[in-house]
């Protein structure tokens, strides 16, 4: 009887540990081919940068920078086929640099609300700043 | 529609020009009541038909009793927290309260996409929780582009598309009306235009092939299936192909979201209608450098958000579309008599 109780206790402990592990925040998603944004960025943070900084800041949709898959009309987010994506990377580096150099931010990050200069500062809803014809 | 409301300069053959568009926009936010009968649309500003002292429909206006009704809700953007509306859950709940305050509970609710802002599990959870409080038989969904970010819609499909085809399209019958939910946010086109794609178009053609031409059709999808303002991606590249399969039907209603404002157009037998958002307004086409969340004075926000209700009258196959802004939360709902 004592022996069986021991097994029940061990089983309960094992179940508790399993449930606790399952309840812990999951490992951050890995996205392919991130070169300026952190590799371990969460899905939420990445989506927020894409929507707030690029979509709203430049007035563009995903296909402005992201190329389609070769065999479908879906987007291949990892692809570098469109030059706009490389330009976006340079722009992010420039934005980080401006915030660090001229506004003394120690660790500026794209998407961070503490940035003094962000995409929309110059773009104001336009793909190319100052281009009213779009 | 009055003679003055006709659009004389239809350069793009889409039934709308800038002047006409602005005329349509004058209706937006004030609430709109539309009755379609035999392909002819009669529209009235809500202020014309609602008696302000009672909050009910004026006595001299006759509205036929509906056989059933449903509500459309759109662009909830759960997770959005910018100044344009820092509490999108509250405005979604206010929209659901509007549905629950209807004199007769709608048979079902259509959500025309952008349930979430960033396609996150917790955002979908919050939406599901809120939608549970809607007093209706069932809720049908189609995705918006915000619901398919990063994963091309896998999570959306797991949650909301179990009985659907392809990337989430489906159809069902209700009281003799064929409802068709389409997905135009997975495939992409330059400029952000929606795309239905060949697979879905083939399915649509087959889906309606066996139907009698007298079957009323209701199509719902996120991005408008007409060229509202292609410069901002407010249209669907291959929608003409889809609509060609529906031309033989006597009554076709197309319900969309995406542009966060009410607009409508009648083209032959097809009535197009876009719904307001429950989250935040967007600028009128061309009135800002680009589309996006528009901050308005707090007291005006709920004038620009709301729901759409649709009533169906069987004997003459009419669909009456009514937009209800959130702002008149203390007023009684009009009764359909």
Residue that the structure tokens 């793009």 belong to = B12
Per-residue pLDDT tens digits for B173-210? 998 999 999 999 999 888 889 999 999 999 999 999 99
Asked whether the beta carbons of B99 and B307 are under 8 A apart, the reply is yes
Q: Domain coordinates of chain A in residue numbers?
A: 27-123
Cβ contact, residue pair A74, B190, below 8 Å: no
DSSP state of B144: -
| Chain A interface, best mutation among B150, B151, B190, B198, by max A CB count within 10 A | B150
Asked whether the beta carbons of B12 and B229 are under 8 A apart, the reply is no
Residues of A in contact with B82 (CB under 8 A): 52
Q: How far is B151 from chain A (nearest CA, A)?
A: 9
Residue B106 DSSP SS3: coil
Per-residue pLDDT tens digits for B130-161? 999 999 999 999 999 999 998 889 999 999 99
Asked whether the beta carbons of B104 and B67 are under 8 A apart, the reply is no
Residue B201 to residues B45, B211, B221, B241, B245, Cα–Cα distance (Å): 36, 16, 13, 7, 9
Cβ contact, residue pair A59, B289, below 8 Å: yes
Cβ contact, residue pair A126, B195, below 8 Å: no
Residues of B in contact with A52 (CB under 8 A): 82
Cβ contact, residue pair A63, B192, below 8 Å: yes
DSSP state of A97: H
Per-residue pLDDT tens digits for B61-84? 655 566 788 999 999 999 999 999
Q: How far is B194 from chain A (nearest CA, A)?
A: 11
Instruction: Determine how β-strand B177-181 pairs with β-strand B217-220.
Output: parallel
Mean pLDDT of B16-23: 43
Q: How confident is the model at residue B50 (pLDDT cuts 50, 70, 90)?
A: low
Mean pLDDT of A126-134: 74
Alpha-carbon Rg for chain B, nearest whole angstrom, is: 18
Across the interface, of A47, A58, A68, the residue whose CB is closest to B150 is A47
Residue that the structure tokens 């979908």 belong to = B124
For residues B158-192, b (16+ Cβ closer than 10 Å) or e, as one string? ebbbeebeebbbbbeeeeebbbbbbbbbbbbbebb
Cβ contact, residue pair B152, A74, below 8 Å: yes
Instruction: Write out the DSSP string of B238-300.
Output: THHHHHHTTTTSS-EEEEE-SSSS-EEEEETTEEEEEPPPSS---PPTTSSSS-S-----HHH
Mean pLDDT of B304-323: 78
Cβ contact, residue pair B188, A51, below 8 Å: no
Mean pLDDT of A19-29: 53
Across the interface, of A46, A59, A74, the residue whose CB is closest to B290 is A59
Q: Is the confidence at residue B99, as pLDDT, over 80?
A: yes
What is d(CA A14, CA B248) in angstroms, rounded to the nearest whole number? 64
Residue that the structure tokens 């402990």 belong to = A13
Q: How many Cβ atoms are within 10 Å of B70's Cβ, its own excluded?
A: 26
- Of the two residues B202 and B21, the one the predictor is more confident about is B202
pTM score > 0.95 for this model? no
| Chain B interface, best mutation among A41, A47, A123, by max B CB count within 10 A | A47
Residue A86 DSSP SS3: helix
Q: How confident is the model at residue B322 (pLDDT cuts 50, 70, 90)?
A: confident
Identify the burial level of B205 via C-beta atoms within 10 angstroms of its C-beta, where 0-12 means exposed, 13-18 middle and 19 or more buried.
Answer: middle
Asked whether the beta carbons of B103 and B92 are under 8 A apart, the reply is no
User: Under an 8 Å CB criterion, which residues of A touch B?
Assistant: 31, 43-44, 46-48, 50-52, 55-56, 58-64, 68, 72-75, 77, 124-126, 132, 134
Q: Structure tokens of B334?
A: 């009009």
What is d(CA B69, CA B71) in angstroms, rounded to the nearest whole number? 7
Name residues whose C-beta falls within 8 Å of residue B332's C-beta, 6 or more positions apart in sequence.
B54, B55, B56
What was the pLDDT predicted at B312?
Answer: 78
Closest-CA residue of B relative to A131 is B289
Hey, what domains does chain B have and what are their CATH numbers? 3-49+67-328 (3.60.21.10)
Q: Is the confidence at residue B280, as pLDDT, over 50?
A: yes
Cβ contact, residue pair B188, A75, below 8 Å: yes
What is d(CA B260, CA B276) in angstroms, rounded to the nearest whole number? 4
Alpha-carbon Rg for chain A, nearest whole angstrom, is: 23
Instruction: Write out the DSSP string of A32-73.
Output: TT-SSS-TT--HHHHHHIIIIIIIIHHT--GGGTSEEPTTSS
Q: Is B83 on the interface with A (CB under 8 A)?
A: no
Q: In what order do the strands lie in the sheet with B40-45?
A: B40-45, B32-37, B318-325, B306-313, B68-73, B108-111, B139-141
Cβ contact, residue pair A68, B188, below 8 Å: yes
Q: Is B145 on the interface with A (CB under 8 A)?
A: yes
Instruction: Write out the DSSP string of B170-235.
Output: EEEEETTEEEEE---SSSB-GGG-B---HHHHHHHHHHHHTS-TTS-EEEE-SS-SS-SBGGGTBS
Across the interface, of A46, A62, A134, the residue whose CB is closest to B188 is A62
What was the pLDDT predicted at B103?
Answer: 83
């Amino acid at each position: 009887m004592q022996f069986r109780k021991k097994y029940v206790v061990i089983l309960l402990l094992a179940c508790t540990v399993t449930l606790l592990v399952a309840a812990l925040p999951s490992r951050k998603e890995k996205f392919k081919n991130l070169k300026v944004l952190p590799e371990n960025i969460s899905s939420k943070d990445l989506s927020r940068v894409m929507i707030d900084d690029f979509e709203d800041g430049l007035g563009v949709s995903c296909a402005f920078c992201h190329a389609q898959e070769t065999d479908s009309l879906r987007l291949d987010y990892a692809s570098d086929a469109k030059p706009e994506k490389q330009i976006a990377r340079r722009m992010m580096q420039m934005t980080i640099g401006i915030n660090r150099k001229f506004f003394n931010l120690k660790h500026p990050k794209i998407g961070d609300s503490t940035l003094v200069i962000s995409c929309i500062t110059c773009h104001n809803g336009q793909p190319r700043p100052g281009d009213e014809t779009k | 529609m009055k003679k003055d409301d006709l659009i004389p300069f239809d350069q793009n053959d889409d039934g709308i020009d800038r002047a006409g568009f602005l005329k349509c926009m004058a209706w937006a936010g004030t609430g709109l009541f539309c009755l379609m009968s035999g392909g002819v649309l009669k529209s009235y500003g809500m202020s014309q038909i609602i008696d302000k002292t009672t909050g009910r429909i004026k006595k001299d206006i006759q509205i036929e009793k509906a056989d059933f009704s449903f509500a459309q809700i759109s662009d909830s953007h759960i997770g959005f927290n910018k100044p344009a509306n820092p509490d999108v859950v509250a405005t979604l709940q206010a929209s659901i309260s509007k549905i629950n305050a209807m004199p007769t509970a709608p048979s079902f609710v259509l959500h025309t996409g952008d349930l979430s802002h960033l396609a996150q599990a917790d955002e979908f959870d919050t939406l599901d929780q809120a939608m549970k409080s809607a007093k209706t038989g069932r809720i049908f969904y189609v995705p918006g582009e915000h619901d398919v970010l990063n994963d091309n819609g896998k999570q959306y499909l797991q949650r909301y598309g179990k009985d659907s085809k392809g990337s989430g399209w489906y159809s069902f019958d209700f009281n003799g009306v064929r409802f068709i939910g389409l997905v135009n946010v997975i495939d992409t086109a330059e400029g952000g235009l929606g795309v239905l794609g060949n697979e879905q178009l083939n399915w649509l053609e087959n889906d309606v092939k066996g139907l009698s031409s007298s079957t009323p059709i209701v199509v719902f999808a996120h991005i408008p299936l007409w060229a509202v303002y292609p410069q901002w991606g407010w249209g669907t590249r291959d929608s003409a192909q889809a609509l060609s399969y529906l031309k033989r039907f006597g009554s076709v209603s197309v319900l969309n979201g995406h542009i966060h404002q009410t607009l409508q157009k009648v083209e032959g037998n097809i009535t197009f209608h876009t719904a307001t958002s429950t989250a935040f307004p967007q600028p009128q086409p061309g009135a800002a450098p680009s589309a996006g969340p528009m901050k308005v004075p707090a007291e005006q926000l709920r004038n620009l958000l709301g729901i759409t209700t649709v009533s169906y009258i069987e004997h003459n196959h009419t669909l009456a579309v009514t937009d209800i802004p959130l702002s008149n939360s203390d007023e009684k709902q009009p009764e359909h008599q």
